[in-house]
Amino acid sequence: MIEIKLKNLCKNKYPMSRSEARRIIKSSNAVKEITLDFEDIDNIGQAFCHEIFVVFQNKNPKMKLNFVNANNEVMGMIKRILNTENCFNNKNVK
């Protein structure tokens, strides 16, 4: 298990891009569990959130992805992304 303190990697306290997300988690493929620490992170962008919680998680389904210290704005974005993904996964598309 590794813990990633985003405040040490995102100087502007607002990670927003897919490239930032990939850079942050790229060396984490060998572990079974990741905890993202959102302490001192003001907000996150939709692309950043989607890259970690949907794209990365779908590529690594056996990995457990946790998060801590998420404020209301960060939690809102995570919930929005996960709810949208769940809606698409539950539809019968023919």
Are the CB atoms for 71 and 38 separated by under 8 Å? yes
Q: What is the pTM of this model?
A: 0.86
Band the pLDDT of 7: cuts 50, 70, 90. very high
Residue 28 and residue 63: Cα distance in Å, rounded? 10
The pLDDT tens digits of the residues spanning 59-91 come to 999 999 999 999 999 999 999 999 887 666 654
Residue 91 and residue 72: Cα distance in Å, rounded? 29
Nearest to 49, CA basis, from 80, 87, 12: 80
The pLDDT tens digits of the residues spanning 25-36 come to 887 767 899 999
- Across the chain, mean pLDDT equals 88
